[in-house]
Amino acid sequence: MIGRLNHVAIAVPDAGKAALLYRETLGAAVSAPLALPAHGVTTVFVELPNTKIELLEPLGADSPIAAFLSRHPEGGLHHLCYEVDDIGVARDRLVAAGARILGDGKPRPGAHGKPVLFLHPKDFLGTLIELEQV
Ligand code: CO
């Protein structure tokens, strides 16, 4: 059901510093920071030949990554994003298998404007999983 690894997301306290680290120290192609107020994050995308790294800095008072970052003040691996062909089919299959979808269970537009869902980390080996329909 899942396809390519779309991105790995790392929560960071400072997206500008994180971008510099990836650009200067690791020598990667890095996007300019993009504020996404509707998602409560500022994102920087690192383009790798086979996938992307999404650097996420909290934005606003009720950022969904604020609690995570308070537990991991230096930053930390936040989620993996796998591609699916049909997010409705994927959701139905996962719910039937007993997996929990975060929020109201309805796909919503993610950081790339495509429909996404998040799966409860306790159901997936302690890893938050994002599914993105591509
Ligand atoms: Co993501």
Specify burial of residue 22 (Cβ count, 10 A radius: 0-12, 13-18, 19+): buried
C-alpha span between 118 and 95 (Å, rounded)? 12
Query: Is the separation of the CB atoms in 82 and 3 below 8 Å?
Result: yes
The residue type of 128 is: L
Calculate how far, in angstroms, residue 24's C-alpha sits from the geometric centre of ligand 1.
Answer: 23
What class does CATH assign to 5-133? alpha beta
Name the average pLDDT for the chain: 95
Query: Is the separation of the CB atoms in 88 and 107 below 8 Å?
Result: yes
Query: Is the separation of the CB atoms in 42 and 35 below 8 Å?
Result: yes
HSE, side-chain direction, 13 A CA sphere, residue 78: 28
Calculate how far, in angstroms, residue 110's C-alpha sits from the geometric centre of ligand 1.
Answer: 7
Calculate how far, in angstroms, residue 6's C-alpha sits from the geometric centre of ligand 1.
Answer: 8
The whole model's pTM is what? 0.93
Calculate how far, in angstroms, residue 54's C-alpha sits from the geometric centre of ligand 1.
Answer: 7
Query: Is the separation of the CB atoms in 126 and 106 below 8 Å?
Result: no
Sequence ranges of the domains in the chain: 5-133
Structure confidence by residue, pLDDT tens digits, 1-58: 999 999 999 999 999 999 999 999 999 999 999 999 988 999 999 999 999 999 999 9
Is residue 130 flagged as an active site residue?
Answer: yes
Per the residue annotation, which of 24, 47, 74, 130 is the catalytic one? 130
Reported as a pLDDT band with limits 50, 70 and 90, residue 61 is confident
> What was the pLDDT predicted at 120?
96
> What was the pLDDT predicted at 45?
96
Reported as a pLDDT band with limits 50, 70 and 90, residue 80 is very high
Mean per-residue pLDDT for 93-122? 92
